[in-house]
Structure formats: C-alpha cells, structure tokens
Amino acid sequence: MKKAAFILLAMVTLGAPLLIAAEPTPAESIPPENVGDPAVYGEYPKNYKSVVLNWLADKLIDFASSQVVWGDPPKPSELPGKDGKLMGYLVEFKVNSRNQFGAYTGMQKHGALIRDGKVIKATGFIF
C-alpha cells in the first residue's frame, strides 16, 4: 500500500509540471475579442512586448534602469493623428525609469499603438 501511494505521489509530482507547461501562455492564447480586421488594424502583434521594449530602448534616457509592468493584451484601437485617425493595436503598460537627473520617475502609465510590427503612436509621453 505504501509503495502504491509513493508511486502515485511521484507520478503527480513529476507529471504536474508537464501539465502546467502544456497550457498556452497569455501571449499565445489571443482572446478573439482582441483581434481586429487585419485590413483595418494590421496584423495582431503577437510579439508586442519585444516591439514596445525595442521602441522604449530608443526613447528612454536610461533604458537599462527601466522597469515595465504590462497591462492587458493588445486591443484594436483608433487614436487621432496628424492626418486623421491612426488604427492599430493599443498596448498599455507602466514604466519606471531614471530621468536626465538620475532620479526614478515612479510608475507612469503609457500606451503604444502598434501596426504591422512598429509603434506608430505613443500616449503618456512628452517628447
């Protein structure tokens, strides 16, 4: 009896990580309501975190010190632009990084509108 209990415990202990790993991560499981018409909004940015981080690396004074907290997955959105509406997927996030004086700014809410793998507009920044 003890041997059977030990074998069962070993199977559960060793098998649980495989079951957990088999579940899709949030980036892999795109909710249907978050996918817009590709002709209108462009392709859904599955790699939105790397797109935004690469963009932030060019924009922040001290990117190496930055801390990013991600919000919800990208959603189809329209933002005003110089030549009318800009359409893409809006990613909301918070950033804490050092400013030009070396002091941390504190977590500040921002957004990036992504279309076809590029950030085309940002919200919450002063450039």
- Long-range contacts of the stretch 80-84 (C-beta < 8 A, 24+): 81/121
- Provide, rounded to the nearest whole percent, the portion of the chain with pLDDT above 90: 61
pLDDT, position 32: 60
pLDDT, position 1: 56
Candidates 66, 123, 58; CA nearest to 90 is 123
pLDDT, position 54: 96
* Beta bridge partners of residue 85, listed in sequence order: 80
- Provide, rounded to the nearest whole percent, the portion of the chain with pLDDT above 70: 72
Provide the pLDDT confidence category of residue 13 given band limits of 50, 70 and 90: very low
Global pTM value? 0.72
- In this structure, of 26-40, 58-72, 99-113, the range with the lowest mean pLDDT score is 26-40
